[in-house]
Structure 1
């Protein structure tokens, strides 16, 4: 095989890769505008939840305790550095384990981490963060949902956690926590450029019968439906 042929094949491969990237960006910008409407189950909307983004990862935020669920029994306060027990809300997100542990902000993103996450090469994790208060803003939106919708949301979220033989969530021992109020747990599923942390959050909203994008890899795709 001559050098000319090798170069030709190389440029073709690079062209295909570039085409896929461009197509992904276009779809990632356009498809989120296709909305999935909220479903009205006829019940009173009395349970507050929040969607929150730190600019990289999105979370579903719920009360620590209410009449339907006590998250502190499944995600113990002792799993956080602070070990405080006076938190009122818990944010839960799903994503690539390496991405979560190594990339708290975009400035921390490594090429190797991005490649592994994009091409199904690493495990996933749940990131759980306790909060004392929640404040609405550009990065945080509150939604009121019904009793049955809250049950569906809890079921969706719990089903993504991996469990040990006793049925407990599996804590990931790490120093890469973002603060004194968070912890990581093993999760089911594999992250990819087609199914990101934001795709999971978007699907959680669908499971709860709320407005969502048809598909989105970004937080923008979620939040533009909650302006």
Structure 2
């Protein structure tokens, strides 16, 4: 094989990779504009939930407890550093385990972590964060939903957690928590560039009968439907 042949082959491979990246970026920007409309079940909308983003990950934030669900029974306050028991809301997000535990900021991102996350090569985790209050803004939107919609949302979220033989969520022992009020748990599924943390949150909104994007890999794809 001549040097010229090798170069031509290498350029073709690079061209294919760049083409795939460009197509992905374009689809990631355009498809989120295709809306999935909210479904009105005719019931009173009296349960507040929130969508919240830290600029990278989107979480679904719910009341810690009501008569339909007490999340503190499955996500014990004792699993957080603070151990406090008077929080009012819990945010839950699904994502790549390596990203969550090894990449607290973009500056900490390793090439190996990114590759594993993008191509179905690593495990996933649930990130749970307790809050006292939620403040609406560009990064946080409140949605009022019905009891039936909330039950559907709870089932969707709960089904993504890995459980032990006793049906309990499986805590990930780690010092990589982001504060005194959060914890990580093992999760089902594998993260990829086609199914990201934001794709999961978007699907959670669909499960609850709320406005969503047809598909989105980014938080922007969700929030642009809630301006």
TM-score of the two chains, using structure 2 as the length reference: 0.99
Please give the root-mean-square deviation of Cα atoms over the aligned residues, in Å. Answer: 0.6
Give 1:131's aligned residue: 131
TM superposition shift of 1:133: 0.6
**Deviation digits for residues 71-109 of structure 1, max 9, x if unmatched?**
000000000000000100000000000011122232322
How do 1:14-93 and structure 2 match up within 5 A?
14-93=14-93
Determine the C-alpha separation between the residues in 2 that align with 1:182 and 1:78. Answer: 10
Runs (5+) with no aligned partner, structure 2: none
1:37–1:211 Cα contact (<8 Å) kept: yes
Please identify runs of 4+ aligned residues in structure 1 that moved more than 6 A. Answer: none
Aligned residues: 227
1:4 paired with 2:10, answer no
Runs (5+) with no aligned partner, structure 1: none
Give 1:165's aligned residue: 165
Give 1:226's aligned residue: 226
1:56–1:106 Cα contact (<8 Å) kept: no
**Deviation digits for residues 105-142 of structure 1, max 9, x if unmatched?**
32322221111100111000000000011000000000
Give 2:181's aligned residue: 181
Determine the C-alpha separation between the residues in 2 that align with 1:107 and 1:89. Answer: 29
Determine the C-alpha separation between the residues in 2 that align with 1:192 and 1:100. Answer: 14
Give 1:104's aligned residue: 104
TM superposition shift of 1:69: 0.3
TM superposition shift of 1:49: 0.1
Determine the C-alpha separation between the residues in 1 that align with 2:107 and 2:35. Answer: 31
Determine the C-alpha separation between the residues in 2 that align with 1:58 and 1:177. Answer: 17
How do 1:143-162 and structure 2 match up within 5 A?
143-162=143-162
